[in-house]
Structure 1
Amino acid sequence: MKRWRALALDVWAIAGAVDLRTKIMGIVVGVVLLFGLGATTLVHHGFEESLRGQLEKRALTVGRDLAARSTDPLLVNDLFQLYSLVRDAVSTNEDVRYAFVQDSSGQVVVHTFGDGFPRLLATANSTDGTGSQLQILNTEEGLVWDVASPILGGKVGTARVGFTDHRLRDAVNAMTRWLLLTTVLASITGLLAAIFLTWVLTQPLLNLEEVAHKVARGDLTVRAHIWAKDEIGRVGMTFNAMLDDLRRAQVKNEEATQELIRKEQSRSQLLTKVITAQEEERQRIARELHDQTGQSLTSLLVGLKVAESASTLGEARERIRQVRDVAARTLQEVRTLAWELRPSLLDDLGLPAALDRYLTLYKQQYGIEVDLHSTGFEHEDRLPSEVEVTLYRIIQEALTNVARHAKAHSVSIVLDRRPPEVVAVVEDDGQGFDAAKVLRSSDVRSRLGLYGMQERASLLGGTVLIESSHRQGTTVRVAIPLNGAVIRQSEANHEVG
């Protein structure tokens, strides 16, 4: 069993190594040859049996006829008439090889062999008088159908006729040759049809193979040629649809890659800006501490020294009053500096209170009217600290952009806390700009502020939508999910305390 299985695997391996074109042509030609040779063999045997049957019937008929016609001449011993009868039997039937008549004792009376009668032929076949007897003799000339027909029941003698199968064989061979020629012609026709069929079948497959090789090399622009709408054609259409999907995915990946590169560049620029801003902020704080707070403290020292050296109590009181004014101004400067670094109200009272304080300073500094409307902040639950800081900085950045670029007269801010998200909208009546163009700009600095707002919101899973058009103002909408995280006002106050 294992040997047969191994043999089957070897045969399958050999067949599998042959290309499809050879397989199809081999199958077609093999089937044509198999059926052609099988049909030829069947027809050959059937035709031969049919002719042999006819030959036997003719031999019996001719033998009986010769026996019937030989009765009277044999009774009167008319040898001439008997010879005429046997000669006519041979001459009128192409298949009759010989004919002769025997008397009741078995002696040959007349025959058609000329001078020499075969010695053993007289006894090769006989009849019992009840009917004709057919005997097939194997002679030097081939098979002979020898018929012995009794004359008057065998009382007078016997008529013998020998039929050869030469014409039968010639007819069978001619039929066989014709069938073989037909098989060859059918094989040639089948081979041509197989060549055409293999071309029709393999051409789309070869085209698919070529396209697959190009796709494997990374070319997703090629497409398979659809030759027909059959099964192979549907495979080609499915393959092309797959390539279309791959191409779209490739384009999306390339766009996503470019977007990642752009974001990474913007992030790098933003990081640089943050570091630069930190250094600038340190320089500003150092400068303000040196120029303002330092000078104020120096004035305090000088004032105290002057008060110490005052000659009268009134002069000392005046000097102390001046020192107190300087101390109050210095304290205000330190508070303002601390507020700019991080508003304490944001930690103490929450986002609306911190924004209200910032907007008061904003109005004083830039002269732009700003109104704030907040909903959903009436209860004691605070927003998460990171959400409050993010919204505060985004709104602060939006207002800074309004002051620098918008040439606006008024700004409206709406805070809407509606779980599961909080939304902030900053809308101005300024000159507007093309937001999409700025965001697509290759100049990173021109979009850094907008990108910074988007980056802050995205860190918390939020979004920033900027709508603006020329002379129609600008609207910045920020939405940040809350995810159910809130801080109790009492807890916040406790932590601050």
Structure 2
Amino acid sequence: MPRSTGWKHWDWVRLYGINMALANGAQGTETSPEHRFSTFVTVVSSVSVRTKIMGIVLALTGVLGFSITLQVRGTMSETLLAELDNRGHSVVSDLAARSVGPILAHDLAGLHTLLQETLANHPDIRYAFVVDSSGRVLAHTFAEQVPADLLALRPTETLGQEAHIHYENYEGTIHDFQMPIVIDGVGAVRLGLAETRLQRIIDGVTRRLLLTTLVVAVAGILAAIFLTWLLTRPILDLVRTTNQVRSGDLATRAPHWTDDEIGELADAFNQLISELQSSQETVAAKEEARSHLLSRLIEAQEDERKRIARDLHDDVGQALTSTLVQIKLLQQSSKGESTLAALSRLRGIVDQTLTTVRLLSRQLRPSTLDDLGLAAALERYSSEFISRYPNLTVDLHCDLAIRLPATIEISLYRIIQEAMTNVARHSEATALSVLVTTREQRVQAIIEDNGHGFNVAETLRNKSSVGLHSMTERTELLDGNIQVESSSDGTTVFIEIPLESSP
């Protein structure tokens, strides 16, 4: 069938684009431009810098190569097809002029020879034939006869008109030219030219351009690999240095590869590490001094408690005991009932005061802790604790195979003492359990209650919460760990102290 001469390869490209747009539109909102762009940005953002650079190089090379190929192919197609049309028009005009003589002389053999010579001299010509005014074929170049469907393309009444049409056959597109013979009423010459040779030329040029694009793309990939290596090597070193600094290694430094902005960034980062290292060393020195001062302060506090407890026991306790003895002697020598009653009341007051002084002495520094160790001291303290808080049951379990160092014993005793006091004063608990054990050169303690709990983070932020801060400081001074977990069902305090931390 004939087709329009204006249909170019760009029309096929536009038609393909329209079909793709319609297909994408039928898929719903998930393939909308916004969704596709968002997906593209997400994918591009997640890849490495090397991949981005190589992707840019490949994209530019591919777009440039294919654009040039399409432009060259389109221009060549238009130029060669226009040249084919001009050549066909020229050849058919020449045949029409040269056919007059043989036709008038009724020299059909000469006319046939003219057509065969023309066919041999022009490789694009597929056929040529001459018809008279009635449409009868006078001469042709076909092996047998002119196909009927070819004759049907040109009605007899159009033989006097110059025409040019396209149609498709097994070889592809055929350009059919018709030129009336210069003498009116004699007939016309038909000439068919194929695009096959031109398409082979165009396809060959296209293949060479695509091959060139491929070679350029490979060269671009190699250049991109080298370029990304140059660009990303210092960046990767910076990332590696950053990770090492994040893990605590402040001795590492980023290498200075180049003198550009990345090199300046590496120098600035190294300067930042140096300043951070200096600041950390200063903080560590201050923290060490603070810890040493706090340790000496606690040690002095314990020594002072021990001295006061000893003074209470030895001096005040002995004085109260002597007072009781004197009161007893007075009771034996006195005979008045009023005097005996007064002495009895005085004896009760002194006896209660003596009991209080002894309890205060044990609280300041229990002699059991120094003489018998942590387990015995906790047993004694638990008994006194239960007598003071009868509504709170205490389950104490100490599994200590060895005697702990004195510094650990006194610190752990104070921590457990503070924890138990906090439970009694603030948690409204009815049950309290204390577990102390040693495991793998570490001493562990767990204090757990069934009270209403509290907000641990808020309590730690509250500077007035001396008890919890004191427990934390005592634990950290011994290189230990303390963890407090609290909820509406109760509170649990985990303490772990290495035995090697003691002097």
TM-score by length of 2: 0.49
TM-score by length of 1: 0.49
Larger Rg: 1
